[in-house]
C-alpha cells in the first residue's frame, strides 16, 4: 500500500503517496522538466513554488545523457531532492511513430536512474486511430505490463500501469481491467492530450470515468498532460489524483499568460489580473520590453503561480466539501468546460456514492446543473428508499414558509395551532405535512432540519429545476401510497407544475389556492378545509374531485 486517502469529495481525494524519496500529497500537479531547457529550475520548483514532485522523460535522458544520467542518478542530475517521476517515451512514440529503444531497456534505464515513480513504455492510442488499431494498443500495452514483472529488479520504485483505448470508452474500460489485474501501484490515463487540445472535455469525461470505475480504489489515477489550470477541478472531480503538465513552459515560450479561467497573450492585456510576486510589481509592458529569455522565464513563473494557486483552491474545496461549487465556477470559464460538466451529470449516482454524506456547511444551488450534485441525488434516493410516512389520514402539500426550518419557525406554531383548534390533537396526528420546494421536491416536516434541506441557498428555480421538483413530488406520493392529498397552491410556477405532475400521474387530490398561504387567515382556511376533508371521509363521503 503506497496510497493513503484522508478525505474525499465527489471523486477527488486528499491523500498521500509514499515513495522512497518522500511523500507526495494529492491532488498533485507535477511540472514537466526538460533537462535541456529549464525556464525554471527543479530546485526553484521546490523552494519557490513548493512542488513535492516533478516529472521528466527517461527516453530524452537516455538519448541526451546516456550512461552519465544513470551513473549520477536522476535526482542529482536534475538537482531535485523530492519525488521524481520518469515518463517512458510513449509520447515520442505517439508523435513520431517509433522510438529506437525496447520496453525492457526503458525499464532497466529507469531503475538505473533511481526514479521514484516510473512508467512502462506503453503503446499510446492516437486520437484518430480506428477501433481495430486502438484495440491493438490496448492489448500490446497489457502485454508490456505483464512483461514488467518478469524483468524489473528493484522493489523500491512505484510502477505506473498506463491505460489506453483513446476515444473508445469501452476499450478504455477493457484496458483498465487488464492493467489493474497486475500489481501496479499507480495507473495513468494515456493519450488524452489531443482530446484536451481540441477542447473535447466532454470526451475526456467518458475516458476518465471508464478508467476510474475499472481500477482498484486504493490506486491513484494519473492524467497525462493535463495542461491548463481551468481543467484541474474537472480532472480532480472525476477522480484524477495526479497530473503532469508542461503547459507552464510551453505557453510562456508562446507569450501566453495563464489565468484560472483562460489564457491571454501579453500584448492583449491592459492590466495584469494577478497578484502573484511576478505580476504584483509589473505592468504588461514590462513583459513586452524584456529580452525574450527573461520574458519567457517571467511568464513561466507566473503560470506556475496560477497553477499552484488552483491546486491549493481544489484541496481546500475538498476539505470544505465544496468541490462541486468550485467545479461549477470553473465550468463557466469556457463553453466546452460547461459541456463537460453536463456530460459528467450522467455519472451522478457514482459521484453520490463516493461523496461524504456529512457536511459542515450549507450548499449553493445555482441552476438545474446542480440537480446532479451528490446532496440532491442522495436526498431523492433516501427519501424514496427510507422514509416511511406512517399511517397519515391526509397528505398536505404546502409551499415553504418565509423562514427555515419550518419546524422551528413561527409559521410552524401558527399552522398547528390552527389545526388543533379545528381538529383536536388526535386528528392532527393523522396528517402528513410536506413542503414542496425546488430543487428537492417534497420535504416532509420530520426531515426539514436534515442537511441540506434548510441549509442551502438558491438563485431561484429555472424551468428544468421546477419540472424535476414537481415530478419528484408526484413520484413520492405514488410510491408511498399517500391519499387523500390536499395541495395548497400559491399559484407559483412550481405549484402549477406540481399540480400538473399529480394530474399526469393519476393522483386524486384537491387544490386550495392561497396566494399568501402562511398568513393567519390562510392557515385558518386551511384548517377548515382539512376538517372538511377528514369529516367527509369519516362519514364515508368522498368528494367528486377524489
* Last residue of one domain, picked from the residues 347, 377, 403: 347
pLDDT over 60 at 234, yes or no? yes
Q: Is residue 66 part of a domain?
A: yes
Which one, of 113, 31, 37, 116, lies nearest residue 74 by Cα? 113
Backbone angles phi, psi at 517, to 5 degrees: -70, -15
Residue among 451, 216, 237 at smallest CA distance from 330: 237
Q: How sure is the predictor about 85, in pLDDT bands with cuts at 50, 70 and 90? A: very high
Do 388 and 423 share a domain, yes or no?
yes
Closest CA relative to residue 324, chosen from 2, 8, 3: 8
CA 383 to chain centre: 24
Q: Are the C-beta atoms of residues 162 and 121 closer than 8 Å to each other? A: no
**81 shares its domain with 210:** yes
Sequence-distant (6+) residues with CB within 8 A of 89 are: 57, 58, 59, 60, 62, 99, 101, 106, 121
Distance CA 257, CA 497 (A): 48
Could you tell me if 325 and 428 lie in one domain?
no
Among 252, 243, 197, CA closest to 224: 243
In 3D space, the residue among 212, 216, 258, 214 whose CA is nearest the CA of residue 237 turns out to be 212
Same domain for 289 and 196: yes
Residue 480: inside a domain: yes
Same domain, 380 and 336: no
The rounded distance, in Å, linking the Cα atoms of 286 and 170 is 50
Q: Of 347, 374, 408, which residue is a domain's last?
A: 347
The pLDDT, as a whole number, for residue 537 is: 54
- Does one domain contain both 338 and 371? no
Segment 376-411, tens digit of pLDDT: 999 999 999 999 987 677 899 999 998 888 888 888
Half-sphere exposure of 431 (CA within 13 A, CB side): 26
368 closest CA partner among 496, 468, 292? 468
Catalytic positions, written as ranges: 87
pLDDT at 545: 32
Q: Does 333 lie in the same domain as 384? A: no
Q: Do 210 and 260 fall within a single domain?
A: yes
**What is the per-residue pLDDT across 239-295, written as a single tens digit (0 to 9) for each?**
999 999 999 999 999 999 999 889 999 999 999 999 999 999 999 999 999 999 999
Q: With bands split at pLDDT 50, 70 and 90, how would you rate the model's confidence at 539? A: very low
Summarised one tens digit per residue, pLDDT across range 130-158 is 999 999 999 999 999 999 999 999 999 99
Q: Is the pLDDT of residue 96 over 80?
A: no
H or E segment to which residue 84 belongs: strand 83-87
487/493 Cα distance (integer angstroms): 14
Count of CB atoms situated within 10 Å of the CB of 277: 12
Least confident of 120-124, 426-430, 492-496: 426-430
What are the grid coordinates assigned to 137, written together? 494498443
121 or 393: which carries more pLDDT confidence?
121
- Whether omega for the bond prior to residue 46 falls within 30 degrees of 0, making it cis, is no
Domain boundary residue among 347, 371, 387?
347
How many DSSP H helices and E strands does the chain contain? 23, 20
Q: Do 27 and 126 sit in the same domain of this protein?
A: yes
Closest CA to 381 of 472, 483, 498: 472
Judge whether 35 and 84 are in contact, CB under 8 Å. no
Please write the tens of the pLDDT for every residue from 483-533.
899 999 999 999 999 999 999 999 999 999 999 999 999 999 999 999 888
Q: Is residue 506 part of a domain?
A: yes
pLDDT of residue 1: 61
- Residues of the chain with pLDDT > 90, as a percent, come to 77
What is the C-alpha radius of gyration for the chain, rounded to an integer number of angstroms?
Answer: 29
Give the mean pLDDT of the chain.
92
User: Can you give the pLDDT at residue 400?
Assistant: 92
Q: In degrees, to the nearest 5, what angle opens at C-alpha 208 toward C-alphas 108 and 158?
A: 25
Residue 4 inside a domain? The answer is: no
Examine residue 252 and state whether it is found in any structural domain, yes or no. yes
**Exposed/middle/buried for residue 360 (C-beta within 10 Å: 0-12, 13-18, 19+):** exposed
In angstroms, what CA-CA distances link 413 with 55, 118, 383?
63, 66, 25
Question: Which residue in this structure is represented by grid cell 492530450?
Answer: 193
In a shared domain, residues 292 and 400: no
In a domain, 530, yes or no: yes
Residues near 381 by beta carbon (within 8 Å), at least 6 away in sequence: 352
The total number of structural domains that make up the chain:
2
Angle at Cα 263 formed by Cα 275 and Cα 372, nearest 5°?
95
Lowest mean pLDDT: which of 129-133, 223-227, 355-359?
Answer: 355-359
Of 240-249, 428-437, 472-481, give the lowest mean pLDDT range: 428-437
pTM above 0.85, yes or no: yes
In a domain, 459, yes or no: yes
**What domain range includes position 137?**
11-347
pLDDT of 299 higher than 80: yes
Count other Cβ atoms within 10 Å, centred on residue 36.
9
For the cut 70, the answer to whether the pLDDT of residue 195 exceeds it is yes
Residues 340, 383 within the same domain: no
Distance CA 399, CA 397 (A): 7
pLDDT band at 198 (very low <50, low <70, confident <90, very high): confident
Residue 287 lies in a domain: yes
Amino acid at each position: 500500500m503506497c496510497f493513503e486517502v484522508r478525505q474525499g469529495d465527489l471523486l477527488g481525494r486528499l491523500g498521500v503517496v509514499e515513495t522512497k524519496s518522500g511523500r507526495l500529497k494529492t491532488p498533485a500537479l507535477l511540472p514537466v522538466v526538460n533537462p535541456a531547457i529549464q525556464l525554471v529550475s527543479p530546485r526553484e520548483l521546490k523552494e519557490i513554488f513548493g512542488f513535492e514532485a516533478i516529472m521528466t522523460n527517461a527516453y530524452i535522458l537516455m538519448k541526451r545523457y546516456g550512461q552519465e544520467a544513470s551513473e549520477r542518478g536522476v535526482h542529482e542530475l536534475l538537482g531535485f531532492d523530492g519525488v521524481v517521476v520518469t515518463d517512458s517515451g510513449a509520447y515520442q512514440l505517439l508523435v513520431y511513430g517509433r522510438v529506437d529503444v525496447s520496453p525492457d531497456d526503458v525499464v532497466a534505464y529507469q531503475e538505473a536512474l533511481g526514479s521514484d515513480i516510473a512508467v512502462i513504455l506503453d503503446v499510446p492510442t492516437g486520437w484518430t486511430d480506428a477501433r481495430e488499431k486502438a484495440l491493438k494498443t490496448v492489448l500490446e500495452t497489457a502485454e508490456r505490463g505483464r512483461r514488467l514483472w518478469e524483468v524489473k529488479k528493484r522493489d523500491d520504485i512505484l510502477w505506473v500501469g498506463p491505460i489506453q483505448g483513446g476515444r473508445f470508452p469501452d476499450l478504455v474500460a477493457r484496458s483498465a481491467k487488464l492493467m489493474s489485474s497486475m500489481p501496479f501501484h499507480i495507473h495513468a490515463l494515456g493519450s488524452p492530450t489531443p482530446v484536451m487540445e481540441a477542447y473535447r472535455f466532454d470526451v475526456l469525461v467518458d475516458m476518465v470515468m471508464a478508467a476510474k470505475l475499472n481500477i482498484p480504489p486504493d490506486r491513484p489515477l494519473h492524467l497525462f498532460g493535463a495542461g491548463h489550470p481551468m481543467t484541474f477541478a474537472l480532472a480532480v472531480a472525476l477522480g484524477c489524483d495526479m497530473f503532469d503538465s508542461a503547459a507552464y513552459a510551453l505557453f510562456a515560450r508562446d507569450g501566453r499568460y495563464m489565468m484560472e479561467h483562460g489564457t491571454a497573450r501579453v500584448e492583449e492585456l491592459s492590466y495584469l489580473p494577478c497578484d502573484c510576486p511576478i505580476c504584483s510589481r509589473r505592468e504588461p509592458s514590462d513583459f513586452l520590453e524584456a529580452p525574450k529569455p527573461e520574458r519567457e522565464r517571467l511568464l513561466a513563473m507566473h503560470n506556475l503561480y496560477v497553477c499552484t494557486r488552483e491546486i491549493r483552491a481544489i484541496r481546500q474545496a475538498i476539505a470544505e466539501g465544496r468541490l462541486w461549487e468550485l467545479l461549477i465556477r470553473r465550468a463557466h470559464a469556457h463553453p466546452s468546460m460547461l459541456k463537460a460538466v453536463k456530460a459528467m451529470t450522467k455519472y451522478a449516482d457514482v459521484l453520490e456514492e463516493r461523496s461524504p454524506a456529512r457536511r459542515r456547511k450549507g450548499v449553493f444551488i445555482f441552476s438545474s446543473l446542480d440537480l446532479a450534485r451528490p446532496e440532491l441525488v442522495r436526498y431523492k434516493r433516501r427519501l424514496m428508499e427510507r422514509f416511511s410516512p406512517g399511517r397519515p389520514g391526509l397528505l398536505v402539500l404546502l409551499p415553504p414558509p418565509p423562514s427555515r426550518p419550518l419546524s422551528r419557525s413561527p409559521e410552524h406554531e401558527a399552522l398547528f395551532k390552527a389545526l388543533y383548534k379545528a381538529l383536536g390533537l388526535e386528528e392532527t396526528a393523522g396528517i402528513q405535512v410536506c413542503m414542496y420546494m425546488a430543487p428537492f421536491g417534497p420535504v416532509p416536516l420530520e426531515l426539514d432540519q436534515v442537511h441540506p434541506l434548510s441549509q442551502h441557498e438558491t438563485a431561484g428555480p429555472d424551468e428544468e429545476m421546477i419540472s424535476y421538483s414537481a415530478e419528484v413530488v408526484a413520484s413520492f406520493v405514488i410510491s408511498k401510497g399517500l391519499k387523500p392529498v390536499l395541495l395548497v397552491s400559491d399559484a407559483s410556477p412550481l405549484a402549477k407544475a406540481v399540480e400538473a405532475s399529480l394530474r399526469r400521474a393519476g393522483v386524486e387530490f384537491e387544490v386550495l389556492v392561497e396566494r399568501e398561504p402562511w398568513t393567519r387567515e390562510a392557515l385558518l382556511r386551511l384548517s377548515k378545509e382539512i376538517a372538511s376533508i377528514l369529516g367527509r371521509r369519516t362519514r364515508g363521503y368522498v368528494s367528486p374531485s377524489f
